[in-house]
């Protein structure tokens, strides 16, 4: 079989743009990225040095308020993925034990097209429109398993309550999910933010839908384009072996590593773990970018630069995902206050107006603590004028 499309990801974005561009572009783009990853599975790898191997799996979580198009963007991808019989999907809601059984059932045999070597792998894509339903409430056991699976161990063992040992050969797990900011706070323990599972996730954050679409289109061209995407993703799923790279790739990757080491995208300690894994995210994206347009399994400077752009684009809003999450009981209220102040577009806000807005969330003492904290952050200054209403002077709307 030969490919019909010059670039799979570009064509996927085109299809979503034509049919229904209500979901934000970032949601649609990363649903497509995850679809390519689900097809590559553990069959494709990048070897660096003697014992450092990277596989093209990602943990991607689309984050936005209800009705921002997370599920719609994912549906575009799932409609295509479900037509590829070799791509194994998990149930939307499941237990750790059921996931382990599913991975053992999906044990596949693959032949490296270059070396002829036979390999076994248990490649599974977790596809969940409600991440918190899949994850459960503070499910430490499942969270710990997802952390270990991310690294694609050759063998992974688990001892059941009945003291039976379950073993998975060739672990590979890819995840695409959707959730709301409030749901993240409810499902993940505060102490896990910044390390563990969250450091392995690329959070794709959008605050609102792209535009209102009353009736999505369904033209002959769009149906043909969808069929081409199915055909080409099946071809991508047949790729197998080691990815190589050009001198141009290595030059651009080296330059990025030096730059990234000194210029962190976030100054929030909640993202320290993520920053430590950015190179893995980038190399995975580069493999996906290469597979998106070519079967040659050679990563070029164009692939790494595209991956750099994709990662930089999603990181612009990623820093807002954990705002309001912290050990202090004030952290959520402080974030709500910042959002309210930024949304008011006023340089001075009457204190009574601020108090009225938050009357159901904080009493007078709590409000004073929130405002004192914002003052110490140099975000606002509370001004008391004789014979006039007390006002909140906005110093920095971006805090």
Q: What is the pLDDT of residue 387?
A: 80
Q: What is the pLDDT of residues 320-345, one digit of tens each?
A: 887 655 545 566 778 788 878 887 88
Q: For the residues 253-280, what does the mean pLDDT come to? A: 91
| Residues ≥6 apart with Cβ < 8 Å to 254 | none
Whether 35 and 161 share a structural domain: yes
Whether 146 and 26 share a structural domain: yes
Print the domain residue range for 67: 8-318
3 lies in a domain? no
Structure-token pair, residue 77:
């991808």
* pLDDT at residue 189 is higher than 70: no
Q: What is the pLDDT of residue 213?
A: 86
* pLDDT at residue 127 is higher than 80: yes
Q: What is the pLDDT of residues 146-170, one digit of tens each?
A: 999 999 999 898 876 666 778 888 9
- Which CATH number do you get for residue 203? 3.40.50.300
Residue that the structure tokens 């790494």 belong to: 304
Rounded Cα distance between 346 and 372, Å, is 19
Task: Please tell me what DSSP assigns to residue 86.
Answer: T
Q: What is the pLDDT of residue 360?
A: 80
Whether 390 and 285 share a structural domain: no
Whether 303 and 339 share a structural domain: no
Q: How many domains does the chain have?
A: 2
Whether 172 and 281 share a structural domain: yes
Top-confidence residue, 247 or 212: 247
Q: What is the pLDDT of residue 173?
A: 96
148 lies in a domain? yes
- Which CATH number do you get for residue 348? 1.10.10
Which of 293, 318, 343 is at the close of a domain? 318
Whether 189 and 99 share a structural domain: yes
Whether 53 and 181 share a structural domain: yes
Whether 60 and 106 share a structural domain: yes
* pTM of the entire predicted model: 0.81
Nearest partner of 19 among 290, 285, 180, 229, judged by Cα: 229
* pLDDT at residue 96 is higher than 90: no
Q: For the residues 13-24, what does the mean pLDDT come to? A: 95
2 lies in a domain? no
51 lies in a domain? yes
Q: What is the pLDDT of residue 104?
A: 82
Q: What is the pLDDT of residue 338?
A: 83
Whether 310 and 349 share a structural domain: no
Angle between helices 8-19 and 70-81 (to 10 degrees): 130
Cβ–Cβ contacts within 10 Å for residue 232, how many?
Answer: 26
Rounded Cα distance between 20 and 217, Å, is 7
Rounded Cα distance between 86 and 283, Å, is 24
Angle, alpha carbons 183-186-188 (nearest 5°): 100
158 lies in a domain? yes
Q: What is the pLDDT of residues 50-63, one digit of tens each?
A: 889 999 999 999 99
Q: What is the pLDDT of residues 345-378, one digit of tens each?
A: 888 999 999 998 888 888 888 888 888 888 888 8
26 lies in a domain? yes
Whether 251 and 335 share a structural domain: no
Q: What is the pLDDT of residue 161?
A: 64
Is residue 321 within 8 Å of residue 184, measured between CB atoms? Answer: yes
Which of 318, 344, 361 is at the close of a domain? 318
Q: What is the pLDDT of residue 398?
A: 57
Whether 281 and 345 share a structural domain: no
* pLDDT at residue 172 is higher than 70: yes
Which of 297, 318, 339 is at the close of a domain? 318
% the chain with pLDDT above 70: 91
399 lies in a domain? no
105 lies in a domain? yes
Q: What is the pLDDT of residue 336?
A: 80
* Alpha helices (H) along the chain: 8-19, 25-40, 70-81, 96-105, 131-135, 140-150, 181-187, 220-236, 247-262, 272-276, 278-293, 301-318, 331-344, 351-357, 364-376
Whether 23 and 147 share a structural domain: yes
């Amino acid at each position: 079989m030969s490919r019909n499309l010059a670039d799979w990801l570009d064509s996927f974005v085109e299809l979503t743009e034509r049919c229904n561009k209500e979901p934000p572009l970032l949601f649609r783009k990363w649903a497509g990225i995850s679809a390519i990853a689900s097809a590559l599975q553990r069959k494709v790898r990048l070897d660096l040095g003697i014992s450092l191997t990277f596989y093209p799996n990602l943990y991607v979580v689309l984050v936005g308020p209800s009705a921002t198009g997370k599920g719609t963007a994912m549906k575009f991808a799932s409609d295509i993925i479900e037509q590829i019989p070799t791509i194994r999907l998990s149930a939307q809601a499941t237990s750790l034990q059921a996931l382990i059984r599913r991975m053992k059932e999906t044990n596949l045999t693959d032949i490296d097209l270059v070396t002829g070597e036979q390999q076994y792998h248990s490649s599974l894509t977790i596809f969940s429109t409600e991440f918190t339903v899949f994850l459960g409430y503070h499910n430490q056991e499942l969270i710990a398993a997802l952390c270990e699976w991310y690294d694609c161990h050759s063998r992974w063992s688990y001892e059941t309550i009945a003291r039976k040992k379950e073993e998975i050969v060739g672990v590979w797990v890819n995840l695409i999910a959707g959730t709301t900011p409030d749901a993240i706070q409810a499902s993940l323990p505060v102490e896990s933010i910044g390390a563990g599972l969250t450091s392995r996730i690329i959070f794709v954050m959008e605050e609102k839908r792209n535009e209102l679409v009353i009736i999505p289109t369904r033209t002959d061209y769009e149906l043909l384009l969808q069929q081409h995407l199915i055909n080409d993703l099946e071809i991508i799923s047949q790729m197998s072996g080691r990815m190589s790279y050009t001198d141009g790739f290595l030059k651009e990757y080296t330059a990025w590593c030096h730059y990234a080491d000194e210029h962190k995208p976030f100054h929030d300690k909640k993202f320290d773990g993520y920053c430590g894994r950015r190179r893995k995210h980038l190399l995975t994206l580069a493999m996906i970018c290469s597979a998106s347009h070519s079967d040659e399994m050679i990563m070029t400077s164009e692939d790494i630069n595209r991956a750099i752009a994709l990662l930089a684009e999603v990181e612009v809003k990623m820093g807002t995902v954990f705002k309001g999450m912290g050990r202090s009981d004030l952290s959520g209220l402080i974030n709500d206050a910042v959002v309210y102040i930024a949304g008011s577009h006023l340089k001075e806000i009457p204190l009574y107006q601020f108090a009225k807005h938050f009357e159901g969330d904080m009493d007078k003492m709590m409000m004073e603590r929130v405002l004192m904290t914002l003052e110490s952050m140099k975000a606002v200054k509370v001004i008391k004028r004789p014979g006039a209403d007390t006002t909140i002077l906005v110093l920095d709307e971006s805090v």
